[in-house]
Structure 1
Amino acid sequence: MSRDRRGEQPVAARMPADVDAPDKLPYGLTFRQLPLRRQVLIVTRTTSGERGEHRIN
């Protein structure tokens, strides 16, 4: 059941923004560091298995 909303004004809410606050990312990393760390993790996980350093008990 939908109402006819043609005569209504859109509702807008103002929210204060702290543009000087740093962005909250995992482990305190920046936007540039996050993808780089991800790539390093992927490379080390794939290469450690080839050298036998990754052991499964």
Structure 2
Amino acid sequence: MENWRRSSYSGEGDGNNCVEIATTPTRTVVRDSKAPARAPLTFQAPAFARFLVGLKES
């Protein structure tokens, strides 16, 4: 899983003020765009989808 995507809200300049995500059918991995070598956070895909729904509703 190396297909990292960066948010369109990644900030001014070099665009490194955001998170990046990579997905598979079963999980979503999140990492800091300023420190991509650090350990990422891994979520089960359904849990991450519910998280995104909650963000959009708030």
Fold equivalence (TM over 0.5):
no
Between Structure 1 and Structure 2, which shows a larger proportion of strand residues? 2
Normalising to structure 1: TM-score of the pair?
0.31
Highest relative contact order (Cα 8 Å, sep 6+), 1 or 2? Answer: 2
